[in-house]
Amino acid sequence: CRREWIAVDGPAGAGKSSLARALAKALGYRYIDTGATYRAAALAVLQAGVHPGDPASRSRIVDIVRRVRIRLGTDPRVDLPSRVFLDGRDVSTSIRSLEVGQAASTIATIPEVRRVLAELQRRMAEEGPCVMDGRDIGTVVLKEACVKLYVTASLEERARRRAKELQEIEGQVPVSLEEIEEQLAMRDQQDATRQDAPLRAAEDAVTLDTTGQTPGEVLERALAICRECL
């Protein structure tokens, strides 16, 4: 297996990105947020005026995703949250809305979209040691990673964390906790039941339930697992 790769997967709001970033910082690795690549691609689709869920627009969606240039800031020390560039424009904030998250999950069901973005992610991983987070990193994108973590938390806790994140986004219309919970459950369902690379723990992944745990406690457990495997 490849020691320079750490795969972190799990449902939305489980604390994957905080953990992946903290791990990257502690180990001196780069942090690669693959959700941001799906979100940036989805934003490009929305900005082109194309409906992400319209089956008749599939080939246009694939075409848009093939054409756009997505670049990520990967240094965990300077990027909080990750800087994301779409055709050279900084879209770090606009990709974090509920609408873009939902659109990302919808276009992520299209196999050609997944192929294009997985290739981009793989190229980024080949540039050097990294912690990569997403839904299919341990099962598809970095199958050869030595350390695979599957991060989960209760739906209530994940909704609370998402609500906090959303509050910090300027221009985001306030949404109720119930609405966030509903959106998360819908997204989990869509991510876990899609045909191509559904959300699931890899057979060789270690599951970390972060419900009721502080980020520091989760990091400690993850570092202990890394020490065992690396």
Q: Terminus-to-terminus CA distance in the chain, angstroms?
A: 10
> Cis omega (within 30 of 0) on the bond before 81?
yes
CB nearer to ligand C5P: pick between 154 and 224: 154
- Please choose, out of 44-52, 76-84, 129-137, 207-215, the segment that lies near ligand C5P by the rule CB under 6 A: 129-137
- Residue bearing tokens 């869920």: 53
Task: Please state the closest distance from residue 36 (CB atom) to ligand C5P, in A.
Answer: 6
Of the candidates 146, 123, 142, 120, which has an alpha carbon nearest to the alpha carbon of residue 132? 142
183 binds ligand C5P (CB under 6 A): no
CB nearer to ligand C5P: pick between 123 and 228: 123
Cα–Cα distance, 193 to 168 (Å, whole number): 31
In the list 82, 92, 97, 105, the residue contacting ligand C5P (rule: CB under 6 A) is: 105
Element (H, E) at 135: none
Please state, as a whole number, how many other Cβ atoms lie within 10 Å of the Cβ of residue 95. 23
- Please choose, out of 53-61, 98-106, 147-155, 210-218, the segment that lies near ligand C5P by the rule CB under 6 A: 98-106
- Contact residues toward ligand C5P (CB under 6 A) are 12, 34-35, 38-39, 101, 104-105, 108, 134-137, 187, 191
